[in-house]
Amino acid sequence: MCALLVAGFALPPTAAAVETSVVCPVDPLPVTSAQTDALFALAAGRLYAASDITGLKPPGVKYPFGATARQTQYLRSDVYGWTAGFYPAELWLMYERTADPAWLALARTWTRNLLPVAKWTGSHDLGFMIGLPAGLGMRLDPDPAQRITYRRAIIDAAKSLSTRWNNKVKAIKSGEYGGKWGLIIDSAMNAPMLIEAGNLIGGAEGAQLRSRGEQHLLTLAKYFVRSDGSTFHRLTFNPLTGALTGPVYGQGYNMSTSTWSRGQAWAMYGFAKGYAATGNPILLDAARRTTGFWNQQVGPGCIPAWDLDVWSAFAPRDSSAAAIAAAAMLQLADLDPVTSAASRQSALATLGTLTMPEWTSVNTQNPGILIRQTWNVPILKYEGSYVWGDAYLLESALKVSRPTSR
């Protein structure tokens, strides 16, 4: 349980002996329309500035990735980076918010450059890279021809992802970890694209894609969700028999017993989305259990450390985990009458915290939106802003606010 709450959002130096896995507001309050308006105003400036690539060098356009707290320019990746889809997704969300054709033009451009990646079989993250921006484009673009292009990309990406299927494990391979065939909980976010593509094309091929996406999520629910609702980050399997061979170290504090904060949020979101696409009660149960564990550990309006079992007042926070969790809870609130009120209340309190100046870049020179995110703490122990946290914060804020235009 969240046994210790810290008043305010930062501990003074004299509080060095205090241990906590969360930072919490004194009085958690739901997000207000003024806060979401301010957030989108901040996002408009940051996202537009990031679209200026005049100073970038060949061999091509690079996609925003993130920036540590002291950096004023984005680190960027090429189109094959797992995070490449988040920046165009943010542009689509700005277009949905404003209906401004300038955002539409930017969203189209930054999405179009990604679409050839849909035929790449070298990554299990095509749901992030293609499914997210192309899915938004397919829903929001007013041009039918453009929507057809995005539809094709989603289908191609799903077929590419499906080539990584293992019929013994009943899952899409994430990668090799310690020389072993492995899965990571993040893949819960990519599997739903298979279900979506299967529904788009229909027939035997569509049924196979849909089945593989659902089975992948069921495999995650079976092996990754512990009895208390917490999750592993990485597990390995025997690809010839399908047998579980055990956990391996990933981004969590302890590979066997701790819970990586962002991984827990990925699980919450992926299972909820999977349930929305399939109606499978096992996935609803997984969404409920992982969400229940999050709320038990983190508390209303609180922001966790990078791992939920790291009890240090000075451990890096991961506000991106909170943003993803808020998006997951809003999704679950729409799907599950049993937990709807509690999920929505928790999400609104989380957004109430994340949209405060202490957690955004409004008073900094950071090029992102949501600060105090972490990427991979064992490698880089600095907080900063990253495009995945920004994207899910905007998604959540958009869902709870009324667009100012339209």
Give residue 54's pLDDT: 60
- How far apart are the C-alpha atoms of 353 and 132, rounded to whole Å? 25
303, 23 Cβ separation under 8 angstroms: yes
- The encoded tokens of residue 183 equal 């899965």
Asked if residue 405 belongs to a domain, the reply is no
Closest CA to 189 of 395, 403, 3: 395
Average pLDDT, the chain: 92
- The encoded tokens of residue 67 equal 């920036």
Would you say residue 5 has pLDDT above 50?
no
Asked if residue 12 belongs to a domain, the reply is no
- How far apart are the C-alpha atoms of 339 and 352, rounded to whole Å? 20
Q: Cα-Cα-Cα-Cα dihedral of 38, 40, 43, 45, to 10°?
A: -80
Cα 190 to Cα 68, 128, 186, 305, 392, distances in angstroms: 26, 6, 8, 25, 15
What amino acid occupies position 29? L
DSSP 8-state assignment for residue 130: I
Task: Name the pLDDT band for 318 (thresholds 50, 70, 90).
Answer: very high
Average pLDDT, stretch 266-285? 98
Give residue 6's pLDDT: 31
Would you say residue 234 has pLDDT above 50?
yes
Would you say residue 18 has pLDDT above 60?
no
Give residue 17's pLDDT: 38
Residue 174 domain boundaries? 17-370+381-400
State the first-to-last Cα distance of the chain, in angstroms, to the nearest integer. 43
CATH number at residue 221: 1.50.10.10
Asked if residue 210 belongs to a domain, the reply is yes
Closest CA to 237 of 307, 306, 165, 317: 165
Task: Name the pLDDT band for 58 (thresholds 50, 70, 90).
Answer: very low
197, 155 Cβ separation under 8 angstroms: yes
Q: Phi and psi (nearest 5°) for 52? A: -80, 105
CB neighbourhood size of 238 (10 A): 14
Give residue 16's pLDDT: 41
- How far apart are the C-alpha atoms of 86 and 199, rounded to whole Å? 24
Give residue 402's pLDDT: 61
197, 205 Cβ separation under 8 angstroms: no
What amino acid occupies position 300? P
CB proximity list for 142: less than 8 A, separation 6 or greater: 104
Task: Name the pLDDT band for 379 (thresholds 50, 70, 90).
Answer: confident
Asked if residue 120 belongs to a domain, the reply is yes
Give residue 55's pLDDT: 52
Average pLDDT, stretch 202-210? 98
Task: Name the pLDDT band for 247 (thresholds 50, 70, 90).
Answer: very high
Give residue 60's pLDDT: 61
267, 225 Cβ separation under 8 angstroms: yes
What radius of gyration do the chain's Cα atoms show?
20
Give residue 158's pLDDT: 98
134, 157 Cβ separation under 8 angstroms: yes
Higher pLDDT, 340 or 15: 340
Give tens-digit pLDDT for 59-75.
467 999 999 999 999 99
Task: Name the pLDDT band for 312 (thresholds 50, 70, 90).
Answer: confident
Task: Name the pLDDT band for 52 (thresholds 50, 70, 90).
Answer: confident
Asked if residue 3 belongs to a domain, the reply is no
Asked if residue 183 belongs to a domain, the reply is yes
Q: How many structural domains is the chain composed of?
A: 1
Asked if residue 270 belongs to a domain, the reply is yes
Give residue 404's pLDDT: 43
Give residue 356's pLDDT: 98
Give residue 314's pLDDT: 87
Task: Give bridge partners of residue 135 from the DSSP assignment.
Answer: none
Would you say residue 3 has pLDDT above 80?
no
Higher pLDDT, 188 or 403: 188
- How far apart are the C-alpha atoms of 127 and 131, rounded to whole Å? 4
Average pLDDT, stretch 114-141? 98
- The encoded tokens of residue 247 equal 């956990």
Give residue 109's pLDDT: 95
Average pLDDT, stretch 375-388? 92
Would you say residue 389 has pLDDT above 90?
yes
Closest CA to 132 of 200, 194, 85, 87: 85
What amino acid occupies position 254? N
Would you say residue 1 has pLDDT above 90?
no
Asked if residue 8 belongs to a domain, the reply is no
The structure tokens 């409920």 sit at 288
Would you say residue 198 has pLDDT above 70?
yes
